[in-house]
Amino acid sequence: MREASKLVRTSLGLPPKSKYYIIPEGDKTEIQYFLGIRDNAQEININSLIEIIPIENDQSEMGESHPLRKIDNFNKDLEDGKFLYYKEIDKVCFVIDRDPQNFSVEQYDKMLSLCEKYNYSVFVSNPTFELFLLMHNDAILSLNKKEMLENKKVNKNKRYLEVKLAEIFGCNKRNVAFEKFQPNINQAIQNEKQFCEETEGLKYKLGSNVGKLLEEMILK
């Protein structure tokens, strides 16, 4: 099926579409955001030759979606033929949190090594994806960087970044209102450049490189 589709587009003089498999670590925040990107691709000016495919956690992964496990599960799905993947034109993108409380330095290094081995891409937010969401507003430039990086608990249930997300955008990580972020995607891409964007540097430094993924997909 994949080869037939590719051949049909080529025979019509059209370049084949690239599938961007977006594989988030969590089962709430990131998947909601990228479903919003997919569903509003035309308005966001996503390249029409890119098909965005966010992959939601299956039932067995709910609450146990460690980044290293996500690689194993995706590879198994490929072996089982669950996804059509043409490595020359498609792209696999893991979207993960650095979150040092649950993701050790050794595990982080292994994640990067495995992604390099399989030619997958990895997009990291340190400490969590809420940091990238906050980049959709210039208010982030005035927040305390040390407090953001430490992301300590502010109360029994919420950490610093989630509290700031609620204050600035009026939403939380379990219910991302994508319409509040969509108008400011280019702003987030630019604000991200004020923080660390390098994958190796994100092991320790405050920042994200999710904006680089969006920048790659959006037509200039």
Q: Which of 18-32, 132-146, 197-211 bottoms out in mean pLDDT, i.e. has the lowest?
A: 18-32
Report d(CA 67, CA 94) in Å as an integer: 8
pLDDT band at 64 (very low <50, low <70, confident <90, very high): low
Q: The pTM is what?
A: 0.90
Q: Per-residue pLDDT tens for 69-125?
A: 899 999 999 999 999 999 999 999 999 999 888 889 999 999 999 999 999 999 999
Instruction: Enter the tokens of residue 106.
Output: 């050794």
What is Dmax (Cα atoms) for the chain?
60
Give the count of beta carbons closer than 10 Å to the beta carbon of residue 219: 10
Q: Per-residue pLDDT tens for 22-51?
A: 999 877 899 999 999 999 999 999 999 999
Q: Given a cut of 60, is residue 12 above it in pLDDT?
A: no
Q: Tell me the average pLDDT across 7-29.
A: 77
Q: Given a cut of 80, is residue 219 above it in pLDDT?
A: yes
132 half-sphere exposure, CB direction, 13 A CA radius: 30
Q: Given a cut of 80, is residue 138 above it in pLDDT?
A: yes
